[in-house]
Amino acid sequence: MSDMRRREFITLLGGAAAGWPLTARAQNSDRLRRVGVLMAFTESDAEIRARVTAFRQELRKLGWAEGSNLTIEERWPADNMDRVRADAAELVELKPDAILVAGRRAISALQQATRSVPVVIAGTSDPVEQGIVASLARPGGNFTGFGLVELSIIGKMLETLKEIAPTITRVAFIFNPDNASAVYFSRSFPALAAPLAIEPSVLPIHHPAEIERAISTFARKPNGAVLFPGDVTLTINRQLVITQVSQHRLPAIYGDPVFVSSGGLMFYGPDRVDLYRRAASYVDRILRGEKPGDLPVQQPTKFKLMINLKAAKALGLTVPDKLLVAADEVIE
């Protein structure tokens, strides 16, 4: 082969090789992707479903169209741990490109089910302390996502409760010990209550009868109030919770905004819908080739204070102007 022919051949070969990665990338981007969604909530819960809808809408904005280049598999096992584990295993068997997860129990089930499928968490508490990630900046492994509640937020909830009901001297922290995040907060609750001269009561529950018993027993003494952290069991049974605290005339603050829109007194915490939209951005980055272990766990950037004036009036409480001005949403 002449030098000229050899140079032409090498140039042609080089040009083809340069085109290979582009072709591969194009084929890769055209591949139908599969995303799992594991929600430790009830599927019929419209307010929780609205968060998943926000996640889907954000993915669509980012170029992922269901039926075209994306399919989404949802599982809603509520707080039934057998179903949570079974649904987690089933989603992993589908070999999805990523899984969106919400609910500490569902996170634990996925930790047991896979160390390879990328998982994006739509809100969790102290993921380093709980062994979900190695660090916030460099999670490592297959989990990343968005933080939800820190100890400082529990302290802020107590302060807000004291502002709206200044005569309270006792506060119960009612939680399900199956929720690792709530257990973590329950251990620190007495120390958070002490600076406010509040006598703490830590009351574990598992099912509706225990919720009712815990509230009625605590209410036997005067000047009490209740803090309910974000918890699947409490959220599913929120009408029971709201009815019980109302009947016993207990001021209460909640770790999930759905309680206030359902008739509860107050919520303070991160904007949940915003977390799901941000989670979509991480799923998008993973679908485009980034590794979850390289995506830092981000903390909430939007917080909300919600106050239900009707619930306050029923309890004989006057909401201070300071709280009304600070509130992001006031329900008349």
Q: How confident is the model over 78-111, as pLDDT tens digits?
A: 989 999 999 999 999 999 999 999 988 899 999 9
Which tops the pLDDT comparison, 20 or 120? Answer: 120
Q: What is the mean pLDDT of residues 29-49?
A: 90
Q: Please, how many CA atoms are within 13 Å of residue 41, restricted to the half-sphere of its CB?
A: 23
Comparing CA positions, the residue from 122, 121, 195, 115 lying closest to residue 154 is: 195
How many CB atoms are located within 10 Å of the residue 73 CB? 15
Domains of the chain (ranges; CATH) run 28-149+271-302 (3.40.50.2300), 151-270+304-331 (3.40.50.2300)
Q: What is the pLDDT of residues 274-291, one digit of tens each?
A: 999 999 999 999 999 999
Say if CB 129 and CB 184 are below 8 A apart.
yes
Supply the pLDDT for residue 71.
97
Say if CB 157 and CB 253 are below 8 A apart.
yes
Please provide residue 79's backbone torsions phi and psi, each rounded to the nearest 5 degrees.
Answer: -105, 20
Supply the pLDDT for residue 127.
86
3-state secondary structure 205-240: CCCHHHHHHHHHHHCCCCCEEEEECCCHHHHHCHHH
d(CA 331, CA 328): 10
Please provide residue 275's backbone torsions phi and psi, each rounded to the nearest 5 degrees.
Answer: -60, -40
Comparing CA positions, the residue from 299, 302, 303 lying closest to residue 121 is: 299
- CA angle 47-305-146, nearest 5°? 65
d(CA 251, CA 171): 9
- pTM listed for this prediction: 0.81
> What percent of the chain lies above the pLDDT cut of 90?
77
